[in-house]
Amino acid sequence: MGEPLPKVAGGAQHSSDFVGRPVRTLRVKMVLLGSSGVGKSSLVLRFVKDEFKDESPTVGCAYLTRLVHLSNITLRFEIWDTAGQEKYHSVTQLYYRGAHAALLVYDISKRETFIRAQLWLKELEKQYIPGSTVIWLIGNKGDLDQHREVSVQEGQSLANDRGLFFTETSALSGDQVSELLLGVAHRVYECIGAEQGGLSEWQETTLVDQRHNNSFNPFGSCCKAGP
């Protein structure tokens, strides 16, 4: 579970890199879970724009998309960034049902967020069928290593015990973020995409009107990647 992530030169590839290539596009629902302030929104912004900026706490849930190209397939990640505040807990459960990938994020400099991630995991396990969701434990804010309260070994041990994948990242510096997304893409396609009915094919007609999405998306339409 803790093997090195795929190396990505310059990050995962965008759709413009593969213009004209006749590949199928499959839809992947990915959700980010974790306490408020652990950097979930910052990770998403790195995923879709390779940028970093301080963000206000997410209200309810934000929705963004990102295309990731593998050797013979394109995955359209539909990313749900959930609010970490306790008052939104019952609402966020609606968003992670049916997720193909779930990222459990904690802040390596705040032990309570690591404990909270384990509670999120228990909730998630009530909603998914084993084998239907790729779950990745993420120790974010690796740039705060000098203030670390959760060791790499603790994160890896939890992942090993619960059958999760594990990576430490820094949304601030971008370290391991592109590699993480590509790693998730490979695992989802290997574990779910090849199964009959595992991932549905994306067609332009399946798009939801973004005007409605932006009403609860603090990033707005400017951060939408992909078609």
Q: Which of 93-97, 99-103, 141-145, 185-189 has the lowest mean pLDDT?
A: 93-97
Predicted pLDDT of residue 212? 40
Kindly give the pairing relationship between strand 61-69 and strand 101-107: unpaired
* pLDDT, tens digit (0-9, with 9 covering 90-100), for 164-196: 999 999 999 999 999 999 999 999 998 887 665
Q: What percent of the chain has pLDDT over 90?
A: 46
Walk me through the domains of the chain, giving residue ranges and CATH numbers: 25-201 (3.40.50.300)
Q: What percent of the chain has pLDDT over 70?
A: 68
Query: CB–CB of 76/49 below 8 Å?
Result: no
pLDDT tier at 43 (50, 70, 90 boundaries)? Answer: very high
Residue 159 has pLDDT above 60, yes or no: yes
Question: Mean pLDDT across the stretch 65-80?
Answer: 92
The predicted model scores a pTM of 0.76
Question: Mean pLDDT across the stretch 67-96?
Answer: 73
* pLDDT, tens digit (0-9, with 9 covering 90-100), for 116-144: 999 889 888 877 767 788 999 999 999 99
